[in-house]
Structure 1
Amino acid sequence: MKYIKDYKDGDRVFDIYLCKHKQSAVTKNGKSYDNLILQDKTGTVDAKIWDPNNPGIGDFDTLDYIEVYGDVTSFQNALQVNVKRIRRCQEGEFNPADYLPVSSKNIEEMFAELLSYIRAIENKYLRKLMEAFFVEDTEFIKTFKQSSAAKTVHHGFVGGLLEHTLGVVKLCDYYCKAYPLLKKDLLISAAICHDIGKTRELSLFPENDYTDEGQFLGHIIIGTEMIGEKIRRIEGFPSLLSGELKHCILAHHGEYEYGSPKKPAIIEAVALNFADNTDAKIQTFTEILNASTESGWLGYNRLFESNLRGTKLE
């Protein structure tokens, strides 16, 4: 099988892929065509069916596994597939594990490392709250391990939410060493659960799309509600501590225009915002570099509002 990450301009494709998305469109000249997103475990690629009525294009839909015959071309510094033929595949012709993007890091090892941070929390209320999610709630644990951290922007793969969470926790752990004023137990707890709402905001792969709850509320509100539900079951949980923890979650995007219901009002919320933004931005840039087939200037990127430059290691 030729994986998407190995595509080069001019390649010929004849393999099975997951159709992550299918949408009909019309050119400026009124000609119908189909936009597709093909996916395997290494990533996604845009594809075009310029002649949907071609008898070689079989019936298929979003989330079907399809055998694709076509050519890889470059358009505006991005690769895409010009599809000539498609056949919908039957169960047994493919292994689903080949088509779901998965973290390059070991999921169980990352989760064990996350648990080590929970065991180190000295505040009994915060430790009990973290254990309620990450030790006692088996359904939550299963979903958390499988969830992505985003639909497309960063950590958009199985295990992505865990990988991002651990990255944020490690940054916050460093902040606590560098800035002793920070309340370590509060900041580490906030880092561990800052994105737990994404377990309900996004569906699991292969869909990895926004749920109704995610569209209505978003992961920040969902996560705050999830924390509130667990806190109510912990007798004597201090109200001020509850408010500080929830505030960190509500403010972790930092600015209203980035979807944050609150702006940081305590130093731990400021630290969490910086850690979250750092891990997300560095991972986003990493994924851009990994997806690029070019060195040098890569063109303007709207997320960074800058013309980005990549350098291939020799």
Structure 2
Amino acid sequence: MRYINTLHEGETIRTIYLCKGKRSAETRNGKPYDNLILQDKTGTLDGKVWDPNSNGIADYDEKDFVEVFGEVINYNGNLQLNIRQLRVAGKGEYNPADYMPTSEKSVDGMYEELMHYGAQVKNPYLQQVIQYYFVKDEAFIRRFKSHSAAKTVHHGFAGGLLEHTLSVVKMCEYMVGAYPILNKDLLYTAAMCHDIGKTQELSSFPDNDYTDDGQLLGHIVIGVEMLDDAIREIPDFPKKLSSELKHCIIAHHGELEYGSPKKPALAEAVALNFADCTDAKMQTLTEIFKDKNTTDWLGYNRLFESNLRKTSI
């Protein structure tokens, strides 16, 4: 197969991709066409079927693996595939692992490192929260290791949730060393648990889309509910500590308009918000600049509210 990150303008290709998205539209002249998002493990590619009623275009839908034949063009600085032929591929024609974007880091290695931080939590009640999910719940561990951290924007790949969580914990490690006012046990536990709700907010690959609970509740509410499930199983868990831990999760997006029901009121919640935001933004920049061998301006980015480009050296 031809991986998306190896394509070049002017090529004519025939290969199989996952049809991650499909939307029907009309040209200004009223002619129907299909917008596709094609995916493999190296990224996504916009596709256009300009004549969906052509004999060369078979019936297909989102989440189908499709063999496409067409020309790679450059449209507004991005590659696009103009598709002349399309058919749904049979199961024996592709390996699903080729179509799931995956962390470039060792999942088992990252999990082992995360648990190294978890073992540093000395408070017996908080340690039991960590044990409840990250040691004893095998189904949760499998989901956590393989899940993405987002549908889009940052860490939207298998293993992304683990990679993001570990990065947040590492930033919290620095802050604990720099600012003695921070409670290490509370901050480490909150950092490890801050996005556990994403294991239920998003479906697994290849869908990687919002579940019903993801749409209706969101990962912050789901995460607090999951914490409460653990806390109820731990005898004599201190009420104040429970509220402080839940507050860190509730407030980790920092602002009401970013989805947090409460703004940070504890030093640990402030630190967690900064660590979460920093890693999300730096990973977003990493993904924006990836495979873009240019120092030209890339255009306005909504998340950063700025025109972006790579450093010149």
Q: What TM-score, normalized by structure 1, do the two folds share?
A: 0.97
Partners of 1:311 and 1:182 lie apart in 2 by 35
Correspondence list, 1:245-284, <5 A? 245-284=245-284
Partner secondary structure for residue 29 of structure 1: coil
1:113 matched to 2:121? The reply is no
Correspondence list, 1:1-314, <5 A? 1-311=1-311
Gaps of 5+ in 2: none
Relative distance call for 1:312 and 1:46 in structure 2 (3 A) is: farther
Q: Is the 8 A contact 1:14 1:67 kept in 2?
A: yes
Relative distance call for 1:62 and 1:153 in structure 2 (3 A) is: same
Partners of 1:119 and 1:280 lie apart in 2 by 25
| Residue 275 of structure 1, CA deviation | 0.1
Partner secondary structure for residue 297 of structure 1: coil
Partner secondary structure for residue 296 of structure 1: coil
Partner secondary structure for residue 243 of structure 2: helix
| Residue 12 of structure 1, CA deviation | 2.0
| Residue 25 of structure 1, CA deviation | 1.1
Partners of 1:292 and 1:58 lie apart in 2 by 34
Partner secondary structure for residue 308 of structure 2: strand
| Residue 312 of structure 1, CA deviation | 7.4
Relative distance call for 1:293 and 1:3 in structure 2 (3 A) is: farther
Partners of 2:10 and 2:183 lie apart in 1 by 55
Q: Is the 8 A contact 1:296 1:311 kept in 2?
A: no
Per-residue CA deviation, residues 216-262 of structure 1 (Å, 9 max, x unaligned), is: 00000000110011100000111111101100000000001111111
Relative distance call for 1:312 and 1:104 in structure 2 (3 A) is: farther
Q: Is the 8 A contact 1:191 1:272 kept in 2?
A: yes
| Residue 296 of structure 1, CA deviation | 2.2
Letter in 2 for 1:35: N
Partners of 1:5 and 1:236 lie apart in 2 by 54
Per-residue CA deviation, residues 122-172 of structure 1 (Å, 9 max, x unaligned), is: 111101111100000011111111110000110000000000000000000
Partners of 1:170 and 1:61 lie apart in 2 by 42
Greater alpha carbon shift after TM alignment, 189-198 vs 66-75: 66-75
Partners of 2:99 and 2:229 lie apart in 1 by 36
Greater alpha carbon shift after TM alignment, 54-63 vs 266-275: 54-63
Aligned-residue CA RMSD in angstroms?
A: 1.1
| Residue 293 of structure 1, CA deviation | 4.9
Partners of 2:69 and 2:181 lie apart in 1 by 60
Gaps of 5+ in 1: none
| Residue 310 of structure 1, CA deviation | 1.6
Partners of 1:312 and 1:210 lie apart in 2 by 38
Partners of 1:9 and 1:303 lie apart in 2 by 28
